[in-house]
Amino acid sequence: MDAAELHIPVMLERCLELLAPAIGRPGAVVVDGTLGLGGHAEAMLERFPGLTLVGLDRDPEALRLAGERLGRFGDRFRPVHTTYDGVDRAIAELGFDHVDGALYDLGVSSMQLDLPERGFSYSKNAPLDMRMDTTADFTAERIIAEYPEAELRRIFREYGEERLAQRYASRIVAERAKHPITTTAELVDILQAATPAALSNQGHPAKRVFQALRIEVNQELAVLERAIPRAIDALGIGGRLVVMSYQSLEDRIVKKIFQARSRSTAPAGLPVELPEHRPELALLTRGAELASDDEKARNPRSAPVRLRAVERVRRAA
């Protein structure tokens, strides 16, 4: 399996452009918080020859494949098996007191989607797995088998923004009482059967449910809420953070944190803004940037991306 053939990095040139002022100097350190198959990492290491890159990923197979791809860079590439909220521990254990840049390319990776046995895709029959870290125990099959109906309804509604959450949860509970639901195809059949005919032409009925299950299995939103503040805190002054989100729940979290830390904390009516009240971050993008039409045509997985970037301008008090 060739990592380079499995993955086309999303918005690559824009990421490099935004990070360059911070990571282009000799001795700079950057964290790729979602290493995946190493496409963005390879480009950064090639473009900036004085750069050291710390690559984080929870998926052992991704680390193996990226390691093969990036091995030619020697000790300029430092892989770490961890979720991306482990950024502070990872850089400390490697002996760095700060980093100059960080990149987070969120969501499920190309490899995870394309390997049927991982169970992320509703278009391919496979075990109901969906673990990004294959050394973990918790799977989508356990959620479908063990969660009460109310909990299934909650995650479908909150993490999948699914209007038919109640209907789908009820049907799953009824079907699992008859027989175990262990494969993606079985779950898809149940969801299709529960979808009213009037809504059958409004997108695949499994899309949002599978997203919700994946988020719950991997605790993606909870990890993200911890990861972004830790990545910001790891930046030195002038350090830059670029985050690419692929669904609205992720982007809202990133937007909220970036906005909060790019505003003054001075109380209203204070005649002079004291240094400790000045913003920690400067926004580098106006809102969320989208992939170009050309990139969407070349790489369909870039279609939903929302890119935001910030620069650290002050340390917290």
Within a domain: 166: yes
- The parent domain of residue 196 ranges over 118-218
> Looking at the structure, do residues 194 and 228 belong to the same domain, yes or no?
no
> Is 317 contained in some domain?
no
User: Can you tell me whether residue 296 is helix, strand or coil?
Assistant: helix
Q: Which residues are annotated as a binding site?
A: 38-40, 57, 84, 105, 112
Q: Categorise residue 204: left if φ over 0, alpha if ψ from -120 to 50, beta otherwise.
A: beta
Please tell me the distance from the alpha carbon of residue 205 to that of residue 9, in angstroms, as a whole number. Answer: 28
The whole-model pTM stands at 0.90
Q: Which residues are annotated as a binding site for S-adenosyl-L-methionine?
A: 38-40, 57, 84, 105, 112
| pLDDT (tens digit per residue) in 187-223 | 999 999 999 988 777 778 899 999 999 999 999 999 9
Q: Is the pLDDT of residue 114 over 70?
A: no
Tens-place pLDDT, residues 17-68: 999 999 999 999 999 999 999 999 999 999 999 999 999 999 999 999 999 9
Q: Quick one: 227 and 163 in the same domain?
A: no
Domain co-membership, 199 together with 227: no
**Which pLDDT tens digit goes with each residue over 140-160?**
999 999 999 999 999 999 999
Amino acid identity for residue 312 in this structure: R
Asked whether residue 194 is domain-assigned, the answer is yes
Q: What is the CATH number of the domain that holds 280?
A: 3.40.50.150
Separation between Cα atoms, residue 94 and residue 55, nearest integer Å:
12
SS3 label, residue 144: helix
Count of domains in the chain? 2
Question: What whole-number distance in Å separates Cα of residue 95 and Cα of residue 52?
Answer: 12
- On the 0-12 / 13-18 / 19+ scale of CB atoms within 10 A, 96 is middle
pLDDT > 80? residue 161 = yes
Task: Tell me, yes or no, whether 305 lies in a domain.
Answer: yes
Contact 170/149 with Cβ under 8 angstroms? Answer: yes
CATH of the domain at 152: 1.10.150.170
